[in-house]
Amino acid sequence: MAAAASTATLSGCARPLPSTLNSSPSSTRLAPFASRSRPRRLRAAAAAATLREVCSGRVPDHVLQGAEDVGYISPTEVQEQSLPVLLSGLDCILHAQTGSGKTLAYLLAVFSAIDVGRSSVQALVIVPTRELGIQVTKVARLLAAKTCNVMALLDGGMLTRQKSWLKAEPPAIIVATVASLCQMVEKRAFSLGSIKILVIDEVDFIFGSSKQVNSLRKILNSYTAASSRQTIFASASIPQHNRFVHDCVQHKWTKSDVVHVHVNPVQPMPSHLRHTYVICSKKERLHVLLSLLERDAPKSVIIFVAQQSEKSKRAGNPPSSTLVVEFLRAEYKGTLEVLVLEEDMNFNARATSFTEVKGKGFLLVSTDIASRGFDLPQTSHIYNFDLPKTATDYLHRAGRTGREPFSKSECSVTTLITEEERFVLQRFQNELKFHSQQLPLESMFTFNL
Ligand SMILES: Nc1ncnc2c1ncn2[C@@H]1O[C@H](COP(=O)(O)OP(=O)(O)OP(=O)(O)O)[C@@H](O)[C@H]1O
């Protein structure tokens, strides 16, 4: 992201804001909208309005009905705060904790912006991975209730067939990964000239990906223009967010009155997660993991492993994922099915794992590919078999659990570290402002090493 500048006047809202936001004691015109740390679990009771009331006539009735049918009755805090901005057509940076309901917030804005009677591509949602794209498409189709087409243009998809569909019957909404979208636009399968609303989900991840950032810039500045669309950026983590807001305006990714809706700015980590760690040697790690699984008896689990480095590949070492999966398939006696998901798998195998984790108990061994946007609400436990590289990675991995906005059940995140890695975890704790409790190694061993 480029040149720094003062963000003070840019991150606020130049135009008058909807009164609900202006009247909020925590919002100002010169700073990002921010709510102080009210515990997330209490928010439903405190919220006066229903989702339907918050959307007050600006979202088609069938869309709200679809939302109500799946149980979206009360708005989550991010929905309550952002919908007045989003539905008024302003550009918005939607910045709120993992699992806080950003997807529904931006999709409601999409449905309020499009005209289902028109036969053209009017809304575009960009996501970083195929798996997140499948999820977002599912929610969009549910809300559309067959009143308009929602197409998924995702890596590993049937792009040739989709090219003819696009020409024959342009969908109102496209959910796409960056590469697949650009491929289609460059093949002139369709143009983005009629886009009214553009959403970039996990924006910090896409900007941080050397493979995706140049194409994203083309989408933002060449294929479409900020002046003729509503632009929404969403993520739970926007490092240096003041500078990002400034860059949005400077580089014309958004209009100059973009609003930064920042929920829980002092507490990036959801407060209902319980963090623990175990110090053990690398040799002990697999057995400690097994012992934790036996002790915790989780409903569903994601075990995060590091992606194998090129150096380790060249040395002929097996990746962490293979070590963990083979060990668990041999030793784990519980009922959960052991599945694997990683970048190096082909798209068919990825699709199989992704489909299988839906709807039943699972023990998914995954690289960080599952850490962004993956919404598997039944996940009760996260284990970091390998320490994440950054605090942001820790945040997104942890955020794969505790994803039922109004639930009271406690979910846990356990990290396995060596003595030397303790200071790295401490750094993540300081940066993300959470506490992690040590589990004594001896307390969990029921077997001989
Ligand atoms: N108003 C609501 N009422 C009940 N459940 C909701 C509501 N809004 C969203 N949810 C549920 O909350 C979960 C998390 O929502 P979502 O995936 O949009 O989170 P997110 O903010 O995008 O998280 P992340 O940053 O991790 O991608 C989903 O399972 C979704 O179905």
If you measure from the C-alpha of residue 224 to the centroid of ligand 1, how many angstroms do you get, rounded to a whole number?
Answer: 28
If you measure from the C-alpha of residue 103 to the centroid of ligand 1, how many angstroms do you get, rounded to a whole number?
Answer: 6
Whether the Cβ atoms of residue 413 and residue 386 lie closer than 8 Å to each other: no
If you measure from the C-alpha of residue 102 to the centroid of ligand 1, how many angstroms do you get, rounded to a whole number?
Answer: 6
Homologous superfamily of domain range 51-262: P-loop containing nucleotide triphosphate hydrolases (3.40.50.300)
Domain boundaries of the chain, sorted by first residue: 51-262, 274-443
Mean local confidence (pLDDT), 236-262 = 96
If you measure from the C-alpha of residue 405 to the centroid of ligand 1, how many angstroms do you get, rounded to a whole number?
Answer: 7
- Minimum mean pLDDT among 58-72, 136-150, 353-367, 388-402: which range? 353-367
The CA R_g of the chain, rounded to the nearest whole Å, is: 22
Whether the Cβ atoms of residue 375 and residue 403 lie closer than 8 Å to each other: yes
Cα(249)–Cα(241) distance, rounded to whole angstroms? 13
Site to substitute for ligand 1 among 72, 108, 262, 263, most atoms within 8 A of C-beta: 72
H helical segments located in 266-409:
285-296, 310-314, 320-331, 347-357, 391-398
> Which atom of ligand 1 has the smallest separation from the CA of 96?
21
pLDDT over 70 at 286, yes or no: yes
Homologous superfamily of domain range 274-443: P-loop containing nucleotide triphosphate hydrolases (3.40.50.300)
Cα(100)–Cα(107) distance, rounded to whole angstroms? 14
Structure tokens at 98: 């993992």
pLDDT at residue 405, as a whole number = 84
Q: Whose CA is nearest to atom 2 of ligand 1?
A: 72
Helix (H, G, I), strand (E, B) or coil at 199: strand
pLDDT at residue 417, as a whole number = 97
Cα(71)–Cα(29) distance, rounded to whole angstroms? 34
pLDDT at residue 21, as a whole number = 36
Q: Whose CA is nearest to atom 27 of ligand 1?
A: 373
Q: Is 183 exposed, middle or buried (0-12, 13-18, 19+ CB in 10 A)?
A: middle
Pocket flag, ligand 1, residue 101 (CB < 6 Å)? yes
pLDDT at residue 18, as a whole number = 32
Name the residue with tokens 């697949």. Answer: 180
The pTM of this model reads 0.88
If you measure from the C-alpha of residue 160 to the centroid of ligand 1, how many angstroms do you get, rounded to a whole number?
Answer: 33
Pocket flag, ligand 1, residue 399 (CB < 6 Å)? yes
The ipTM, to two decimals, is 0.99
The reply to whether 51-262 and 274-443 are identical in fold is yes
> Which atom of ligand 1 has the smallest separation from the CA of 76?
1
Strands (DSSP E) along 122-253, which ranges?
123-127, 150-153, 173-177, 197-201, 230-235
